[in-house]
Structure 1
Amino acid sequence: MLELPEVLTVSKQLKNHIVGKKISKVLPPSKVHKFCWYNGEPTEYNAAIKGSEVISVEGFGIFVEITFSNGYKLCLNDGVNVRLVPSNEKTKNFQLLIELEDDLVLVFTVAMYGGIFLHDGSYDNEYYLKSKQAISPFSKVFTEHYHKTFMESKPNLSAKAFLATQQRFPGVGNGVSQDILFEAGIHPKRKISTFSEADKDRLLEKIITVLNEMVQNGGRDTEKNIFGEKGSYKVRMSKNTMGLGCPKCGGEILKETYLGGSIYYCTQCQPLVKD
């Protein structure tokens, strides 16, 4: 799933490899996916952007957005995989395919769910707008935003809920929050009402430093970029590391289902402090 490190990685790669290229053709889904959503009919995408040129690519929150010379924009959200491949390597199954000049194609696929939205700048989806307006963790004003958000949040929220729900921090989802909370020494289920000032400051620090490390390493090793390559950031807390033991103390990493997803934590390094 695309979270902020992958969004920034994918948008940077697309910017470097497709800006300036013209659209030769857009193919609608080769296979219907009932949990892939579009803005209008995907069969109309070809008429809208064929012949136009890619002028920019931007990443924000959980969205990657491609802008074309005729004013249209194509945005994809966190459930969409995009690959840039030679035309002779394109897959038979896709949710959208864009043929570029120079015999390159962009292939968009969805595994579980996702959206590929073509719009003229008037797209007003709630999640899109929140991502577009989000304050980057790498911004100078993020510290103020973090403390303001913390103060306005219900005290019975868990650490995971605070970080990864309600789009408080677009792009910070269940995936990246695992390592953020691990590095901060905070249990995913711990109520934010139990946080000391030191806990709050440490969590803020780890949001910034862990996300930065993920971005600098081209995303997580549990996700792939536009060339199908895994990121170089080695995730500490995931299904791939459960049997390896805690990287800090060597203790057991536990897995639970919580708030619609899995959480991973070390009971020694991330104690569940209660009220």
Structure 2
Amino acid sequence: MIEAPEALCLSEQLNGVIKGKVVTDVIPCYTPHKFTFFNGDPEAYPGMLLGKTVDGACAYGGMVQINVGDAKVVFSDGANLRYYEPEAKLPNKHQLLIGFEDQSCIIVSVRMYGAVWCFVGDSFEGGLMSYYGGAKNKPQVLSDAFDKAYFMSLINDEGVQKKSAKALLATDQMIPGLGNGVLQDILYLARVHPKTKIAVLSQAKREELFGCVKKVLREIYRLGGRCSEKDLFDQKGGYVPYLSKDTVGSHCVYCGDYILKENYLGGSIYYCNTCQQEER
């Protein structure tokens, strides 16, 4: 799934290869996929994009946005973007193809589930607009606007003290682009158990947690994303997580205890029971 570091990497790569190009082909829904979430009728997408010039791409949280004239195309979650040079062999299955005047194209293929939105202006109708608006309007986690003061305003809010560390950081779009995929290493380096309630964290631990949010996400971005994700050119990212499905049962690099896995809040959590003891 795309999270903040991957979204930023993808947007920068898109700016390098499609910015300034004119859209000449748009093929939506080439392969039906019931968990691809479009806004409105995808058959209307060509009318919004054809003949327009790509102004550039940007990232909002875990979303990638391409600005095409007065229209916008937004991708998130499991929407995989790939760039294809002219005359390259194209995949047989995809959910959206956008072709350009030089015969290059980008193709979106959804794994599991993903959003592929296209709209004119700054908003669109429907329940998904709040998801997009939240990602766009909150401070971006990799930006200077997401500073210690802002993070402390989130974690010190009276209404979140009964929440667990995972619930605060990676649910309800509290921090857009910070999801379960990047959460595990943040909590691991901060020595915080995913189930630990916010109320029991000391001020020093809260500040340490902020530092780990910045440290982990910046490192993932620096290395071009996590190794479980691929970039615009089908290359895996260089960041290898300390905690993931691939490290369950292996030894903690700090204490030698085993890495454990369990289900919690609709997904998996991974932790070292020695380094990340649940505080009560």
TM-score band w.r.t. shorter chain: over 0.9
Which runs of structure 1 show a deviation greater than 3 angstroms over 4 or more consecutive aligned residues?
Answer: none
**TM-score where L is the length of structure 1:** 0.95
Q: Which residue does 1:194 correspond to in 2? A: 200
Q: Residue 103 of structure 1: CA displacement?
A: 2.4
Given that 1:90 and 1:105 are in contact with CA atoms closer than 8 Å, whether structure 2 keeps it comes out as no
Q: Residue 140 of structure 1: CA displacement?
A: 4.5
1:99-118 equivalences under 5 Å are 99-118=99-118
Q: Residue 256 of structure 1: CA displacement?
A: 0.5
Q: SS at 2:112's partner residue?
A: coil
Counterparts of 1:165 and 1:145, CA distance in 2:
17
Match of 1:182 among 177, 188, 201: 188
Given that 2:164 and 2:197 are in contact with CA atoms closer than 8 Å, whether structure 1 keeps it comes out as yes
Q: Which stretches in structure 2 are left out of the alignment for 5+ residues?
A: none
Q: Residue 54 of structure 1: CA displacement?
A: 0.6
Q: Percent identity?
A: 38
Query: Structure 1 residues 140 and 38, CA, compared in 2 at 3 Å: closer, same or farther?
Result: closer
- Aligned pairs, number: 273
Q: Which residue does 1:246 correspond to in 2? A: 252
Given that 2:12 and 2:57 are in contact with CA atoms closer than 8 Å, whether structure 1 keeps it comes out as yes
Given that 1:222 and 1:235 are in contact with CA atoms closer than 8 Å, whether structure 2 keeps it comes out as no
Q: SS at 1:111's partner residue?
A: strand
What amino acid maps onto 1:3 in structure 2?
A: E
Counterparts of 1:59 and 1:247, CA distance in 2:
33
Match of 1:132 among 128, 131, 136: 136
Q: Which residue does 1:80 correspond to in 2? A: 79
Q: Which residue does 1:266 correspond to in 2? A: 272
Counterparts of 1:162 and 1:225, CA distance in 2:
28
What amino acid maps onto 1:221 in structure 2?
A: C
Q: Which residue does 1:204 correspond to in 2? A: 210
Say whether residues 1:2 and 2:2 are aligned partners. Answer: yes
Mean Cα displacement is larger for which, 59-68 or 149-158? 149-158
Given that 1:217 and 1:232 are in contact with CA atoms closer than 8 Å, whether structure 2 keeps it comes out as yes
Counterparts of 2:145 and 2:168, CA distance in 1:
21
Residue by residue, what CA displacement relative to the aligned partner does 1:45-79 show, whole Å, maximum 9, x if unpaired?
1222112111110001121100012x111111122
Two-structure CA RMSD over aligned residues (Å): 1.3
Given that 1:64 and 1:75 are in contact with CA atoms closer than 8 Å, whether structure 2 keeps it comes out as yes
